[in-house]
Amino acid sequence: MAMPDPFDWKQVIDDKTAMPDADASVVIDPVSGQPLPFDPDRPVPASVHALDTNENYLRVEDGGATAPGDPETKTVADLHLDELLRMAVERQASDIHITSGLPPTIRVDGELVALSFQTLTPQDTRRLIYETLSNDNLTKFESTHELDFGYSVKGVSRFRFNVYMQRGSVSGALRAIPTKIPTFDSLGLPAVVREMAKRSSGLILVTGPTGSGKTTTIATMIDDINENRRAHILTIEDPIEYLHQHKKCMVNQREMHSDTFSFHNSLRAVLREDP
């Protein structure tokens, strides 16, 4: 079967049900986004999403969503984001995704896994995400359609929350931030990084691709300074991720858009704040 938009599930269902005698199943390649031929006698790879048109839901192989009415399927009507994040942390997830057309999905050991919930609608994603937004964040998001901020769930973890629009609906991606700041040894960082943290002046650039540990490395360096020197540490972050306590140092963390509105102005102000 061919279709204009393989992710327009309603149209897919209508097309499939219009040909009840057709010996075909709709299978979507998650990489190319294109329909694939499907042999029912051959198992579908775990990475491939298949649409069960009899039940009108997205089946995610490898233990994700189950059929509507199945006792394993959880409804999302009363689901709150804090509850979802608690479940994700219990499963040692690094990331949580909220997007319409799929159940809530988490990343565990590098693999995306759909939780056993019903498929989220645009109304579901909007409700789940909007209930976490302050009035200021809501105003900013509705004017820019982009938002980054830190979000905490007491007794669970802290998260970096990115909210965005896709196909006209609200979506969100959260990255779990460990409450305990790692040490140099636990990260396996070379000794030269620890030596850099001992310097009293200079410019250190920490670079790398997304998810390579830039923020964690910087947090570890700051924590080492905090434990071994008496100084005033000032950070400017967007958003604040790791929370640093006052140890030997005084630590002041400033977050963009809530504590300051400009990296340029806040960096200039740092020089007047006895760093």
Give yes or no for a contact between 212 and 230, defined as CB atoms under 8 angstroms apart.
Answer: no
Among the three residues 177, 205, 235, which one is the final residue of a domain in this structure?
177
pLDDT of 210 reads 82
Q: Is residue 3 part of a domain?
A: no
Q: 188 and 167: one domain?
A: no
Beta bridge partners of 153: 157
Decide if 248 is inside a domain.
yes
**Is residue 4 one of the residues assigned to a domain?**
no
What does the pLDDT read at residue 15? 55
Please answer whether residues 27 and 2 qualify as being in contact, where contact means their C-beta atoms are separated by less than 8 angstroms. no
The strand ranges marked E within the chain are 26-28, 35-36, 49-52, 57-60, 95-98, 105-108, 111-114, 146-153, 157-166, 169-177, 232-237, 250-255
Q: Are residues 188 and 172 in the same domain?
A: no
Shared-domain flag, residues 170 and 205: no
Question: Is the peptide bond prior to 182 cis by the omega test (within 30 degrees of 0)?
Answer: no
Say if residues 171 and 161 touch (Cβ distance below 8 Å).
no
Query: What is the chain's pLDDT, residue by residue, as a tens digit (275 residues)?
Result: 555 555 554 555 555 555 555 555 555 444 444 445 444 444 444 444 443 333 333 334 344 444 444 445 678 888 999 999 999 999 999 999 999 999 999 999 989 999 989 999 999 999 999 999 999 999 999 999 999 999 999 989 999 999 999 999 999 999 998 888 999 999 999 999 999 999 988 999 999 998 788 999 999 999 999 999 999 999 999 888 889 999 999 999 998 888 888 899 998 998 889 88
Domain span including residue 33: 9-54
Cα 121 to chain centroid distance, Å, stands at: 18
Same domain, 126 and 166: yes
Q: 202 in a domain, yes or no? A: yes
Distances (CA, A) of 39 to 24, 32, 43, 51, 61: 8, 19, 8, 14, 16
Residue 193 is assigned to a structural domain of this protein? yes
Give yes or no: residues 85 and 173 share one domain: yes
Contact 93, 84 (CB under 8 A): no
38 and 122 part of one domain: no
105 bridge partner residues = 97, 114
How many domains is the chain built from? 3
Domain stop point among 177, 212, 239: 177
Nearest CA-CA partner of 167 in 274, 7, 48 = 7
Q: What is the pTM of this model?
A: 0.63
Residues 173 and 100 in one domain: yes
- My answer on whether 117 and 169 are in the same domain is yes
Same domain, 102 and 160: yes
For residues 34 and 130, give the distance between their C-alpha atoms in angstroms, rounded to a whole number.
32
